[in-house]
């Protein structure tokens, strides 16, 4: 019998994954990422398969448990009965557990550093053999990324432990290996750890061995780390290349060979490995690296029979005065934030997908990437070096969730950022970041993390990094006073807020590390931001949030769709807030990416004040325009000329030149758009010759009076002639003109139009003030709340009075209406005057609308002001002269050229991952929508001479889009709904950021506009 005095307990120890004092066990020191090759020839391939490398990626055995304490014991586990799992990969995308998305909050009880003992656990197991020829060497086992913490066993013996999901972990397993050939490797991964409190990034919570696992072989005396420093002299015409190596074992002869970007040998040196190699590069051999000129030298380092190859670039980053400079120039960041995402594999991103992303960015004129919010896969930095991007690479730290608990940044910081017990954990992540990627030219800034508030631990990180690498500047947004940062950084500030800040803080430059929240249909207002970046010397750019939606492909029977928070039954969740990129979840560009590419284009053309010349501005920081072919052509309604070469003088970087127009504008009889294009003159790694880098359209009004923008007076009756009949039957008024019959519902205001017995209008045109919501409307500062409070969605027409008059050739029907919502007293008092005119052909319907907003509770803005018409679904072919071909809105239309376009109604629809308002086109001169069955077209244009309009044609009502949460929720209606808008509300970026700017708001002010509709066959 057990003694009554005996005391038992469980678990009897503090697990490593819940112990702040244990970050790593038995891991090797952080180092630069590299591979060792047997000789120079293989090193120059940069193919790791040619190096002393053996991949352990592939199929592993896997066992999933709710807790580490329930996981199998390795000495008794029958792994042959376990499931198969693919490494690298996350287990939630392979049938275990479920993905969960939160933006800010921690999805578990918050008691740092503790996490629950009910902690989903994945046990991985496989066999491996050491390659022939590796005997007698140090064998290292390296994990490039494991979320969130793990232990490792080799041949049943525990090797060590590590945490820090997006950082590498490397173990010396030499002494654990079997001499008989086959070895076993076991890895136990814990979904949560004390490190999770520092990994609260705005993304899916996903777990497992999600990056490469592999073996490398090192000689007992070998290079274990190196730091290459390409230093640029003050004149930027020469530089010094320095190489410093770290050796394990005994020092010996070190060889360094330097190859130019063209592959020519610039230097071969042999000396002691204890010596820092130094070589001056000057004259024609010296080429600077920048995002515009990504010139890379190859450095080959040979020691003890092994060769390491590294691409490096000469570039200088510094603070000078109140700016940060790259190669002596105050560059502008035209950037994006990039999470690692793949819609089928989650955080595991194939190389080809990553490279395709960066090529698309380069083609879109993007020059900078912030690695939100953690170090990315090592190959990302190789591609960024090669293609040319300025990289702000971020430590794997975010603890946004504490702000939910405390409410203020100062109080939230006390949990970890300003808590000395966490200093080592913060410094560890800084060290891992810097050591791994210190040799990459693309990295111009180290970032201390994201949304962790500010405290002593950021200050400690800043100090350590500055001592280790003073050649780069340091960024941290939540250090609002820039005490431990070299620049000021903000998120989602409006241009006015930026101007206020820069007026009060002139000591350092300002960037927006996040702006223009690219959620769904938006952002709007990019033009104003870029104009400020380019005009204010302290404003050095920004990075759009973010590059891609994070939808995960979910299959439910025959149904496939891109899922977001909550779609996996995950609670808590932040729903569709993860759908906030410039590309769809499958990384297809959205209209917002095209808009951004246009606005940040490196060349712009504007009409000079004399209107006979144009100003060509080069926005590059380092190169002239000699790498681009310039051409021009003209666009008129009904005519586009052939492209012709445009001769330009040399336009140096950052300068402009005024040149004569290639045509005489006085010879133009009607409005013309002079289109100027700049195309790549030669093939690039990221695009073929002929790729359009920049373009602009210059508006030349011409001499015709038809281009006047003066408003037209109400129609005047013409001399009577035969052919028009008016008939009233109680609440219905019917006007017949030839084969057309136009009906007016005197009770409800509806208008119908039949021609040759075929229905054209099923309803309308009538006043409309409603559109579907965008995700930005629904955002934290969006207009949806105001519109909901005002019951805008319930607005409908009430007829107050109708009068009519007619002659044989013209009839006028005058409706006085009130368009108002339910519940409240405010509304629109309006006059709708319909005039039907006959002639030799079918009648013309002229609609003149005037009105004003009246009453208490009137909102400041409404979604739109215009006319809505419902047509038969056979009206499906659309042609227009205006902006196109893609969708565009008043604050997001720069990417769409003026021209003549055609599309089906279905093609006009933009298929967002999250259904919302879409499909508008701006600045129309005319529109034709054709009945594909009869060939009859309805022609629409403004009756106010010279005025333009916008249109949307759709098979969905606003309520259909508002109610749909996924594309599969939408069922096309058997009708075509046509909106002709006098005004509409801009997009803005209010999901996180400002509402549409003042000039893009659809204000509740008096309106007066007219449209003219006619039939064509």
- The string of DSSP letters for 747-767 reads TT--EEEEETTEEEEEEEEEE
Only one residue has tokens 């709904």, namely 977
User: Which of 641, 520, 631 has the alpha carbon at shortest distance from 583?
Assistant: 520
Question: What is each CA distance from 830 to 544, 857, 1006, in whole angstroms?
Answer: 42, 18, 9
Question: What is each CA distance from 802 to 805, 865, 923, in whole angstroms?
Answer: 11, 22, 33
Q: Which domains occur in the chain, in start order? A: 16-218 (2.60.120.260), 222-304 (2.60.40.10), 601-705 (2.60.40.10), 769-1016 (2.70.98.10)
User: Which of 267, 140, 288, 144 has the alpha carbon at shortest distance from 216?
Assistant: 140
User: Which of 288, 355, 989 has the alpha carbon at shortest distance from 685?
Assistant: 355
- Torsion angles phi and psi, residue 683, rounded to 5: -65, 145
The pLDDT of residue 716: 27
pLDDT under 70: residue ranges of the chain = 1-5, 704-722, 839-841
CB 950 within 8 A of CB 922: yes
Q: Which two tokens stand for residue 809?
A: 């050739």
User: Which of 627, 693, 628, 625 has the alpha carbon at shortest distance from 653?
Assistant: 625
Distance, in Å, from the CA atom of 576 to the CA atom of 202, rounded to the nearest integer, reads: 12
CB 586 within 8 A of CB 343: yes
Taking the complete model, does pTM exceed 0.85, yes or no?
yes
CB 313 within 8 A of CB 381: no
Q: Which two tokens stand for residue 652?
A: 């140096």
* Distance of alpha carbon 726 from the chain centroid: 57
Question: What is each CA distance from 31 to 169, 222, 396, in whole angstroms?
Answer: 10, 13, 16
| CB within 8 Å of 307: residues ≥ 6 apart | 36, 37, 38, 39, 40, 42, 43, 300, 301
CB 289 within 8 A of CB 296: yes
User: Which of 878, 920, 874 has the alpha carbon at shortest distance from 901?
Assistant: 878
Q: Which two tokens stand for residue 1006?
A: 């008096």
The pLDDT of residue 618: 98
What is the set of active-site residues? 451, 514
The pLDDT of residue 712: 31
Distance, in Å, from the CA atom of 759 to the CA atom of 508, rounded to the nearest integer, reads: 66
The pLDDT of residue 710: 34
For residue 273, the 8-state DSSP code is: T
CB 698 within 8 A of CB 688: no
CB 514 within 8 A of CB 881: no
Distance, in Å, from the CA atom of 292 to the CA atom of 331, rounded to the nearest integer, reads: 11
Q: Which residues are bridge partners to 754 per DSSP?
A: 741, 759
Pairing state between β 323-326 and 333-337: unpaired
CB 88 within 8 A of CB 348: yes
For residue 115, the 8-state DSSP code is: -
Pairing state between β 539-544 and 333-337: parallel
Q: In what order do the strands lie in the sheet with 732-737?
A: 724-729, 732-737, 740-745, 751-755, 758-768, 864-871, 976-984, 949-954, 921-924
Pairing state between β 203-205 and 100-102: antiparallel
CB 936 within 8 A of CB 755: yes
CA dihedral over 76, 82, 377, 142, signed as positive or negative: positive
Distance, in Å, from the CA atom of 837 to the CA atom of 63, rounded to the nearest integer, reads: 79
* Distance of alpha carbon 343 from the chain centroid: 15
CB 515 within 8 A of CB 492: yes
Only one residue has tokens 């070096």, namely 385
CB 861 within 8 A of CB 985: yes
User: Which of 101, 92, 117, 105 has the alpha carbon at shortest distance from 10?
Assistant: 117
Distance, in Å, from the CA atom of 115 to the CA atom of 134, rounded to the nearest integer, reads: 41
Q: Which residues are bridge partners to 854 per DSSP?
A: 827
Distance, in Å, from the CA atom of 574 to the CA atom of 571, rounded to the nearest integer, reads: 9
| CB within 8 Å of 265: residues ≥ 6 apart | 257, 258, 259
Pairing state between β 368-370 and 333-337: parallel
Put residue 236 in one of left, alpha, beta given phi > 0 → left and psi -120 to 50 → alpha.
left
- Torsion angles phi and psi, residue 58, rounded to 5: 135, -150
DSSP SS3 for 736 = strand
| CB within 8 Å of 447: residues ≥ 6 apart | 370, 392, 393, 394, 395, 474, 475, 476, 513
DSSP SS3 for 82 = coil
The pLDDT of residue 4: 53
Distance, in Å, from the CA atom of 865 to the CA atom of 767, rounded to the nearest integer, reads: 7
CB 604 within 8 A of CB 530: no
DSSP H or E stretch at residue 513: strand 510-515
Put residue 575 in one of left, alpha, beta given phi > 0 → left and psi -120 to 50 → alpha.
left
From first CA to last CA, the distance across the chain in angstroms is: 103
Helices H / strands E in the chain, number of each: 13, 61
């Amino acid at each position: 019998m057990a003694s009554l005095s005996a005391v038992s307990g469980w678990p009897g120890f503090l697990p490593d994954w819940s112990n702040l004092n244990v970050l790593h066990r038995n891991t090797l020191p952080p180092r630069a990422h590299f591979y060792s090759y047997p000789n120079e020839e293989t090193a120059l391939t940069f193919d790791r398969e040619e190096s002393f490398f053996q991949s352990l990626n592939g199929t592993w055995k896997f066992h999933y448990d709710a807790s580490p304490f329930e996981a199998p014991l390795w000495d008794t586990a029958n792994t042959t009965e376990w499931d198969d799992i693919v490494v690298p990969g996350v287990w939630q995308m392979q049938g275990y557990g479920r993905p969960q998305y939160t933006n800010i909050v921690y999805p578990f009880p918050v008691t740092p550093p503790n996490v629950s003992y009910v902690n989903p656990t994945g046990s991985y197991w496989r066999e491996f053999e050491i390659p022939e020829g590796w005997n007698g060497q140090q064998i290292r086992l390296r994990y490039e990324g494991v979320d969130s913490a793990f232990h490792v066993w080799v041949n049943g013996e525990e090797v060590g432990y590590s945490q820090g999901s997006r950082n590498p972990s490397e173990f010396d397993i030499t002494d654990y290996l079997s001499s008989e050939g086959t070895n076993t490797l076991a890895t136990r991964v814990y979904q949560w750890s004390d490190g999770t409190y520092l990994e609260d990034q705005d993304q899916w919570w996903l777990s497992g061995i999600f990056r490469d696992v592999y073996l490398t072989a090192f000689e007992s005396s070998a290079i274990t780390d190196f730091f290459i420093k390409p230093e640029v002299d003050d004149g930027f015409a020469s530089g010094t290349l320095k190489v410093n190596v770290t050796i394990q074992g005994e020092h010996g002869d070190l060889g360094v060979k330097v190859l130019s970007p063209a592959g020519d040998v610039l230097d071969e040196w042999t000396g002691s490995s204890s010596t820092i190699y130094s070589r001056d590069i000057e004259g024609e051999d010296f080429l600077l690296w920048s995002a515009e000129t990504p010139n890379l030298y190859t450095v080959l380092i040979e020691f003890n029979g092994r060769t390491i190859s590294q691409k490096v670039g000469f570039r200088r980053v510094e603070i000078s005065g109140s700016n940060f400079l790259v190669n002596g120039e105050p560059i502008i960041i035209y950037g994006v934030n990039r999470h690692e995402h793949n819609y089928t594999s989650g955080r595991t991103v194939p190389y080809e997908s990553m490279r395709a992303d960066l090529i698309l960015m380069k083609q879109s004129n993007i020059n900078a990437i912030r690695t939100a919010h953690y170090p990315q896969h090592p190959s990302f930095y190789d591609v960024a070096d090669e293609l040319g991007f300025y990289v702000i690479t971020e430590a794997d730290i975010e603890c946004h969730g504490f702000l939910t608990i405390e409410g203020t940044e100062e109080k939230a910081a006390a949990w970890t950022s300003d808590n000395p017990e966490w200093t080592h954990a913060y410094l560890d992540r800084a060290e891992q970041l810097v050591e791994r990627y210190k040799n990459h030219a693309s990295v111009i800034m180290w970032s201390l993390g994201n949304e962790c508030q500010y405290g002593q631990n950021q200050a400690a990180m800043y100090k350590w990094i500055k001592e280790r690498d003073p050649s780069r500047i340091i960024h941290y947004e939540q250090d609002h006073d820039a005490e431990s940062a070299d620049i000021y950084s903000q998120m989602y500030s409006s241009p006015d807020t930026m101007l206020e800040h820069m007026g009060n803080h002139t000591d350092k430059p300002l960037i927006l590390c996040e702006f223009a929240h690219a959620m769904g249909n938006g952002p709007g207002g990019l033009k104003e931001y870029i104009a400020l970046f380019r005009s204010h010397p302290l404003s050095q750019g920004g990075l759009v949030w973010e590059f891609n939606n994070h939808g995960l492909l979910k299959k439910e029977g025959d149904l496939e769709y891109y899922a977001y928070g909550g779609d996996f039954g995950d609670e808590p969740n932040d729903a569709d807030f993860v759908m906030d990129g410039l590309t769809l979840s499958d990384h297809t560009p959205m209209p917002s990416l095209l808009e951004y590419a246009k606005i940040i284009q490196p060349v712009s053309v504007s009409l000079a004040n004399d209107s006979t010349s144009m100003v060509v501005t080069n926005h590059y920081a380092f190169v002239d325009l000699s790498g681009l072919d310039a051409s021009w052509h003209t666009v008129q309604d009904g005519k586009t000329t052939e492209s012709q070469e445009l001769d330009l003088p040399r336009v140096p970087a950052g300068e402009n030149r005024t040149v004569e127009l290639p045509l005489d504008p006085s010879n133009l009889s009607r409005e013309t758009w002079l289109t100027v294009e700049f195309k790549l003159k030669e093939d690039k790694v990221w695009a073929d010759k002929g790729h359009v880098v920049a373009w602009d359209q210059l508006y030349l009004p011409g001499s015709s009076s038809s281009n006047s923008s003066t408003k037209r007076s109400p129609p005047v009756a013409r001399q009577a002639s035969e052919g028009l009949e008016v008939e009233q039957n109680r609440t219905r008024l019917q006007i017949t003109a030839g084969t057309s019959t136009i009906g007016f519902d005197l009770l409800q205001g509806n208008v119908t139009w039949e021609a040759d017995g075929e229905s054209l209008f099923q309803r309308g045109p009538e006043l409309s003030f409603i559109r579907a919501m965008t995700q930005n409307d629904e955002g934290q500062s969006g207009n949806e709340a105001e519109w909901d409070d005002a019951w805008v969605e319930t607005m409908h027409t009430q007829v107050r009075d109708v009068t009519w008059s007619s002659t044989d050739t013209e009839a006028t029907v005058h409706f006085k209406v009130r368009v108002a919502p339910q519940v409240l007293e405010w509304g629109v008092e309006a006059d709708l005057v319909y005039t039907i005119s006959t002639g030799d052909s079918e009648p013309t319907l002229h609609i003149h609308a005037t009105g004003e907003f009246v009453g208490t509770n009137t909102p400041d803005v409404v979604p739109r002001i215009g006319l809505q018409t419902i047509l038969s679904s056979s009206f499906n072919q659309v042609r227009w002269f205006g902006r196109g071909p893609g969708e565009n809105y008043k604050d997001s239309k720069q990417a769409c050229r003026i021209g003549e376009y055609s599309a089906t109604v279905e093609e006009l629809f933009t298929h967002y991952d999250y259904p919302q308002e879409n499909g508008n086109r701006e600045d129309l001169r005319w529109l034709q929508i054709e009945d594909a069955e009869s060939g009859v077209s309805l022609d629409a244009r403004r009756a106010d001479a010279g005025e333009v309009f916008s249109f949307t044609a759709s098979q969905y009502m606003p309520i259909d889009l508002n109610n749909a949460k996924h594309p599969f929720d939408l069922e096309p209606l058997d009708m075509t709904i046509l909106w002709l808008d006098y005004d509409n509300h801009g997009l803005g970026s209010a999901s996180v950021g400002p509402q549409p700017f003042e000039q893009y708001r659809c204000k509740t002010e008096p309106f007066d506009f007219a449209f003219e509709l006619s039939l064509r066959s």
